[in-house]
Homo-oligomer: A and B are copies of this chain.
Amino acid sequence: MTSKIRIGFVSISDRASSGVYQDAGLPALEEWFTRALLSPWQSITRLIPDEQALIEATLIELSDHEHCCLILTTGGTGPAPRDVTPEATLAVAHKVLPGFGEQMRAVSLKYVPTAILSRQMGVIRGQSLIINLPGQPKAIKETLDGIFAAVPYCIDLIGGPYIEANPEVLTAFRPKSAQHNPK
């Protein structure tokens, strides 16, 4: 029996976490991954305010204790004073992968010129890949569509589970030597 792939979803918003409005980030993430993955998976979800220490503690918990190979945050990546998701992500990172931030901004720039204001990043902590996504459901989808092809191979390289994407939705790219041969 194969255990399910564990994926962390962290929605970061003062207003959604205090009930001022309903969180839209976690449902958007659930929906996208339900369509995109063939491998059995489960989400470990958190909804928290824009507090740097709490974001850091949550990322550490999902990485070190919940053993999520992939952690997606949504929200808190802009230039406003309360936007501290990138600071928290950097603080718990072992390695920064600058290509994720570059590519996410390049993807969003096709839709809005203000994409250059986003400070989204992708980092590695232990055996977890952590990626900051935007806050809006539409932008979450656009961003994941634009970067996910590289995610499964990244998780291979850091010692995580083999993730199979649904080829009708997207193609996970791996060099030939890294492709599993189903028997």
Contacts and interface: CB of A to CB of B under 8 A. Distances in A.
A92 interface: no
* Assembly stoichiometry (copies): 3
Contact of A97 (B117, B122, B153, B173): B117
A27 interface: no
A114 interface: yes
Interface in A94-148: 95-103, 105-106, 109, 112-119, 122, 124, 129, 147
Interface of A: 78-81, 95-103, 105-106, 109, 112-119, 122, 124, 129, 147, 149-150, 153-154, 157-159, 173-175
Given A99-B115, A99-B118, A99-B119, 13 more contacts: A79-B95, A79-B154, A79-B157, A80-B157, A96-B119, A98-B102, A98-B119, A102-B116, A103-B105, A113-B173, A114-B173, A117-B150, A117-B154
